[in-house]
Structure 1
Amino acid sequence: MRTDDVPQSRSHFQQKAEALTNDSSKSRQRGPNTVLAHGPYDPRSLHGFVNPPVVHASTVLFESTAAMKKRQSLPYTYGLRGTPTTKALEDALSELEGAAGTILVPSGLAAISIPMLAFLGAGDHCLIVDSVYSPTRSFANGTLRRMGVEVEYFDPHVGADIAALMRPNTRVVFLEAPGSNTFEMMDVGAVCDAAHAGGAVTMLDNTWATPLFFRPLEHGVDLSIHALTKYPGGHSDVMLGSVSANEASYRRLRETQLQIGVNAAPDDTYLVIRGLKTMGVRLQRHQASALELATWLSGRDDVAEVRHPALPSFFDHDLYARQFGGSSGLFSFLLPGGFDRAAAFLDALEIFGLGYSWGGHESLAVAVDLSDRTVCKGPADGTFIRLQVGLEDVADLVADLERGFAAAGAVG
């Protein structure tokens, strides 16, 4: 490095520091990693301890009978209604989402079912994107239909034409972007505008992108759903879900949560609070490694198709680029031939584990089952292999996938 570069670099950083110093925290938008690292929790509220306390509680004592009568105005009244631990995570997620409020529940699936139960009843009609997470479909086809709710699935590319599917009794339009396993993108704003014009509430499963890469409420979504089990937890050791709502939807969502009687356990909540601190830097690694692998797979003759929204060759890339600010570590590719070739491929892997879920530190692979689809059906030939790209070295992951391709090739 030339010595005359040093004063120039120092001057640059000094100018940047002065600019940041001159901006007040109220007038300047903080960066995402700063928000993750600090969040809304103030250490000065608890003797300067950096992290919020893990409160194990059911009973809360009141100062008097008068206080008990006025308990609705108090911040904490019973463990099920929230603790300082759950409030710290709720506030952090609401800040990330730009939401009026957030609820925490024990799993990602609970984060899907509770808002549906909040806004649907007997005789209502519910529209659900066909590329939805399969347990969402199971809940809709099972519990919702038993409740007397009409369930209808639609093509993810419907856009504003969803207006033609709206009925007078359509109460909920449920979205997922990108689509589960097959990664179709949606024009979220167009769907939400049409849904709201028809009097429906919109919900979106945003687990793939996290609030760092997509903020659904800014695109017209009323309730943003997350499996915090995935990237916010980040270490495959916790199950938790969240729903962040706008002002118009939050009260009904919270009331339904309390009526059903579910909240998050303190230790699970704390693990996600801790995971959030590093989610930004982990996602950078997941994103870079997955894109490198997706690009490598795209150049292989024994791969029929790669479905990664951030690849320029992906059929919905324009929709992705227009709405999303980044991509995560989950994508799929189509392996030609029968399922026996897919099984041989998967069984030969040593670093990629064979397991469900994703968003943790480790890489995973699974054969995708699309047999429940009604619109976005699977290919006539071949099997989609879904990859969760973890934090390992990419060269090792490439070598592992090479083992899989060699085994699949031996099948014929």
Structure 2
Amino acid sequence: MQDTTPTPNMATRLIHHGYQPPAGFEAPMPGIHKASTVIFPDVAAMRRREWKDKSGYTYGLHGTPTTFTLEERLCALEGGRHCVLVPSGLAALATVALALLRQGGEVLIPDNAYGPNKAMAAGLLAQYGVRHAFYDAMDPASLAAAITPATRLVWLEAPGSVTLEFPDLPELVRICRARGVTAALDNTWGAGLAFAPFDLLGDGSLGVDVSAHALTKYPSGGGDVLMGSIVTRDAALHLRIQNAHMHLGLGVGANDAEAVLRALPSMALRYAAHDRAARTLAHWMQQQAPVVQVLHPALEGAPGHAHWQALCGAARDGEGAAAGLFSVVFDAACSQAQVDRFCDSLRLFRIGYSWGGPMSLVVPYEIASMRRQVPAHLRPGHVVRFSIGLEGVDDLRADLQQALHQAFGGA
């Protein structure tokens, strides 16, 4: 099409150029649409369009073809029907809380949950008059006893943060359902691959109400994108979350959405590779002298292993599925200086938060400062968490071995 703009002014012609590319272009990756302003053909169309559904476009914050495509693919991944995108995993947790809680209400959080979620309840939500309490995720009776008439939201996490205890997730959901309380799962570890959050029993009878997911981790896969998602199946619940999402003005960049869309096709392959390498190294670390406990839900004897087996064991043709995380407990006889030296001596494992990217990471933790009570199943000592990347397993094992020798000598 020729430029038909009736003006000699080049600035105007460059903005209002009349060319439109032909329809029908198709490629493996969807097109990337960047927009704040969305153009309407006429005033009537502007008045007709509704931002709450995907029947059209109104403004960049409310969706573009790129973000709609990503949302629908994430629904397919997790088994949901509705999705909103937010700038981070923590933003997903915060949006759910702000959508479902109000003054005088209460949220219950596992004591072994992601630390910033607990801190948000004690800080921001408390400022708004929302109460919070913690429960023992490994004891369903603890959750049942904690629910009060004021409870509006229960957070679930499988497995727990850092110490990786795997709860009886179906039983926790049954308790929430029986009491009429919304059950929201931080599903970053499971990632929609280890188990189906909205179909925990495989027969469609039981599932969580909300799945919050840090797309920063496995869906992105590169360690270079911050993004989160909130997936639901209930339309009314989704509308409450969507309204909060709109009022908070949350949005994600088109290039970040593109990065996640590009990574999703390889996600199952990467997840399996992280998993196999992590299990190999977790088994090897069990044999090392300074290590008194290895925490990984797929290992026999790990806290909640039977629950992991029941929920995740049938995945990948019976191989089971787990994220590429495990933690070790170094003997209490070791000094903190030795443990820190071990972490500092690693060459391939880098010191840094997050996980799910190509590079292996290590972080030491002080569990006593993170929990109301140190779990009875945790052996005394120093906890170090590993995120296994995509390096060669033999290279990672050699790196662990040399660091053990540097820090503990002869290990």
Residue 159 of structure 2 corresponds to residue 178 of structure 1: yes
CA–CA distance in 2 between the matches of 1:347 and 1:58?
A: 45
Q: 1:46 to 1:334 in 2, by over 3 A?
A: farther
Tell me how many residue pairs correspond in the alignment.
369
Residue 230 of structure 2 corresponds to residue 231 of structure 1: no
- CA drift of 1:80 comes to 0.6
Q: In the alignment, what sits opposite 1:310? A: 298
Q: Secondary structure at the match of 2:199?
A: helix
Q: Secondary structure at the match of 2:167?
A: coil
Which residue, out of 322, 327, 330, partners 1:327?
322
Q: How big is the alpha-carbon RMSD for the aligned residues of Structure 1 and Structure 2?
A: 1.9
Which residue, out of 68, 87, 108, partners 2:68?
87
Q: 1:364 to 1:268 in 2, by over 3 A?
A: same
Scaled by the length of structure 1, the TM-score of the pair is: 0.86
The residue correspondences of 1:125-274 to structure 2 (distance < 5 A) are 125-159=106-140, 161-219=142-200, 220-247=207-234, 248-274=236-262
Q: In the alignment, what sits opposite 2:32? A: 54
Residue 87 of structure 2 corresponds to residue 109 of structure 1: no
CA–CA distance in 1 between the matches of 2:383 and 2:282?
A: 13
Q: In the alignment, what sits opposite 2:397? A: 398
Q: Which structure has greater helix proportion?
A: 1
CA contact (8 A) 2:135 2:142 kept: no
Residue 47 of structure 2 corresponds to residue 69 of structure 1: yes
- CA drift of 1:50 comes to 1.8
Scaled by the length of structure 2, the TM-score of the pair is: 0.86
The residue correspondences of 1:258-407 to structure 2 (distance < 5 A) are 258-324=246-312, 325=315, 326-336=321-331, 337-370=334-367, 371-377=369-375, 381-407=380-406
- CA drift of 1:410 comes to 4.3
- Deviations 1:110-165 (CA, angstroms, capped at 9, x unpaired): 01110011101110011101111111111111111111111101111122552221
Long gaps (5+) in structure 2? 1-22, 201-206, 316-320
Percent pairwise identity: 39
- CA drift of 1:174 comes to 0.4
- Deviations 1:248-291 (CA, angstroms, capped at 9, x unpaired): 42111111101111011110011011111111111111111101
CA–CA distance in 1 between the matches of 2:272 and 2:145?
A: 40
- CA drift of 1:316 comes to 1.5
CA–CA distance in 1 between the matches of 2:186 and 2:285?
A: 27
Q: Secondary structure at the match of 2:242?
A: helix
CA–CA distance in 1 between the matches of 2:146 and 2:272?
A: 39
CA–CA distance in 2 between the matches of 1:254 and 1:233?
A: 23
Q: In the alignment, what sits opposite 1:24? A: none
- Deviations 1:180-199 (CA, angstroms, capped at 9, x unpaired): 00001111111112112222
